[in-house]
């Protein structure tokens, strides 16, 4: 078996048994990046020298018995809006093209502590604003299954890097589906943990009440292992919560599990191949002992407009710090302070970021605050209540992750509304602060991956991991990886 056929935990076990060296694993991945990333463009920054030095240091700690974590020595990557000390963190924007943090994000520090080997920073939509990884200042990322298609976004670089087996797992961030939608498009497993379960310290904010860091991995067991490693209370993040870590998933029995099927998620606009694969997953879960329960989610139609009002409003506030004065892009020519602000933001931000800043500023402006922002907050509360009602009847919900499989590059660049509507199945999870997980559940007629979404109660990650793991023990979609347009 090739190293790239292993999951992160399987590779970690071979590293612990000394069958594979840490440097050997890192070198294999770096060679893979050199071979394929000219096509995929999953990485903005590859830290080859630092990674090899880190690999040697981790090997010494393993050999001494200091490092025994099951992920020790496993090569991984970090989305380029998560702070990494001494390594550029650009948010895929000209505004932060030369920004090098002097500190690590809490999640990066936690992964360093268990012996992770970071190979670099992955591409993304600029400031996480997009669903296709086409708005990056550093060029588009391509879907490893078909290089003419998008990988999803905004964590498209992380998803593509895992799908192309350039790394064994990667961190992403999810504001309205930015882990789950690219996981679906690239045929990998991804989870957005409950809001507050993972520290956001060191995450460059898009919408602070919605953002959450999570992993993209090969399978559910890997997702559980990485999530356990990064969860927990952090004194640097007042929204983080101290909760018991989920157990690692075991076995394939789902007896007693109630799986809700929200009929509102399977209506008009959903691709037939996506519908069929997701419902097939439901039947597999039923065969493993779960009970399928029809439920209603009547607030789905209001999720997109409410989400974009709230997210853009928060973005307009969060991005106001980028003014060309303290740090970030500064134009060479400007007349005065006012002109500096205007020129820095005009030249430093891309079109999509400027569009969302303007939408947010409008929603927060005098005369429109109550009509838009306050109304969106009330819708957010209603969405949370609707989920509460669903969870009175079910333990998890099974839904599509996206209406379609990966679409062609450029298909929606001139139609942002159409791109926004692609988030219809994911944004409500962020608005309710719930955990959402996507697992590969098959392929469409063109051989492109389809992902199914599992939604759980707040801090119900363990139930999601158990259901996904049981499903993956009896299916193989998650084990298949692309050879650039062909199934592997």
CA–CA separation, 342 and 346 (whole Å):
6
What is Dmax (Cα atoms) for the chain?
70
Tokens of 197: 């379960």
The neighbour count for residue 13, using CB atoms within 10 Å, is 14
346 is catalytic: no
Tokens of 446: 């063109």
Mapped onto helix, strand or coil, the DSSP state of residue 437 is strand
**Annotated catalytic residue within 132, 136, 178, 184:** 178
Residue 168 phi, psi dihedral angles, 5° rounding: -95, -20
CA–CA separation, 357 and 379 (whole Å):
21
Q: Give 355-359 contacts, CB < 8 A, sequence gap 24+.
A: 355/416, 356/129, 356/311, 356/312, 356/315, 356/316, 357/312, 357/315, 357/316, 357/319, 358/316, 359/308, 359/309, 359/312, 359/316
**Annotated catalytic residue within 83, 131, 136, 154:** 154
DSSP structural state of residue 95: G
**Annotated catalytic residue within 79, 110, 121, 380:** 79
CA–CA separation, 116 and 99 (whole Å):
23
CB 260 within 8 A of CB 396: yes
Mapped onto helix, strand or coil, the DSSP state of residue 251 is coil
Tokens of 220: 């559910």
Rounded alpha-carbon distances, angstroms, from residue 441 to 124, 166, 287, 456: 24, 22, 15, 18
Strands (E), 31-136: 43-46, 75-79, 117-122
158 is catalytic: no
178 is catalytic: yes
Q: Is 142 exposed, middle or buried (0-12, 13-18, 19+ CB in 10 A)?
A: buried
Residue ranges in 405-445 assigned as alpha helix (H): 416-421, 427-432
Beta bridge partners of 260: 293, 397
* The three-state (H, E, C) secondary structure of 123-173, written as one string: CCCHHHCCCCCCCCCCCCCCECCECCECCCCCCHHHHHHHHCCCCCEEEEE
CA–CA separation, 29 and 249 (whole Å):
27
Which amino acids are annotated catalytic?
79, 154, 178
């Amino acid at each position: 078996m090739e190293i790239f056929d292993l999951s992160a935990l399987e590779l970690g076990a071979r590293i612990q048994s000394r069958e594979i060296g840490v440097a050997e694993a890192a070198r294999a991945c770096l060679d893979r990046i050199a071979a394929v990333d000219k096509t995929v463009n999953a990485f903005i920054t590859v830290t080859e020298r630092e990674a090899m030095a880190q690999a040697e240091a981790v090997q010494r700690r393993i050999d001494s018995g200091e490092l025994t974590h099951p992920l020790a020595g496993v090569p991984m990557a970090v989305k380029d809006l998560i702070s990494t000390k001494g390594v550029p963190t650009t948010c895929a924007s000209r505004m932060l093209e030369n920004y090098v943090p002097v500190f690590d994000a809490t999640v990066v520090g936690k992964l360093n502590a268990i012996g992770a080997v970071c190979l670099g920073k992955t591409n993304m939509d600029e400031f996480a604003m997009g669903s296709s990884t086409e708005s990056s200042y550093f060029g588009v990322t391509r879907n490893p299954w078909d290089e003419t298609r998008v990988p999803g976004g905004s964590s498209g670089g992380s998803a593509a890097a895992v799908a192309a087996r350039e790394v064994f797992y990667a961190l992403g961030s999810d504001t309205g589906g930015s882990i789950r939608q690219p996981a679906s498009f690239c045929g990998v497993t991804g989870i957005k943990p409950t809001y507050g379960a993972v520290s956001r310290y060191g995450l460059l904010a898009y919408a602070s009440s919605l953002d959450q860091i999570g992993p993209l991995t090969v399978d559910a067991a890997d997702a559980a292992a990485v999530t356990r490693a990064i969860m927990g209370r952090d004194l640097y993040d007042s929204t983080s919560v101290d909760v018991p870590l989920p157990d690692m998933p075991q076995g394939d029995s789902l007896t007693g599990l109630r799986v809700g099927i929200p009929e509102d998620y399977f209506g008009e606009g959903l691709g037939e191949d996506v519908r069929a694969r997701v419902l097939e997953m439901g039947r597999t879960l039923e065969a493993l002992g779960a009970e399928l329960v029809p439920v209603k989610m009547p607030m789905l139609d209001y999720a997109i407009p409410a989400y974009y009002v709230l997210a853009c409003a928060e973005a307009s506030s969060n991005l106001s710090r980028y003014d060309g004065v303290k740090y970030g892009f500064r134009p060479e020519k400007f007349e005065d302070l006012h002109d500096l602000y205007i020129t820095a933001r005009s030249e430093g931000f891309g079109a999509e970021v400027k569009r969302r800043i303007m939408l947010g500023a409008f929603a927060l402006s005098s005369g429109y605050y109550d009509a838009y922002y306050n109304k969106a907050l009330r819708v957010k509360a209603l969405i949370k209540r609707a989920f509460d009602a669903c969870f009175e009847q079910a333990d998890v919900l099974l839904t599509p992750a996206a209406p379609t499989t990966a679409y062609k590059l450029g298909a929606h660049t001139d139609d942002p509304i159409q791109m926004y509507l692609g988030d219809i199945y994911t944004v409500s999870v962020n608005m309710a602060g719930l955990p959402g997980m996507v697992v590969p559940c098959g392929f469409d007629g063109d051989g492109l991956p389809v992902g199914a979404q599992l939604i759980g109660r707040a801090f119900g990650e363990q139930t999601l991991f158990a259901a996904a793991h049981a499903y993956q023990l009896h299916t193989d979609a998650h084990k298949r990886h692309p050879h650039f347009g062909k199934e592997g």
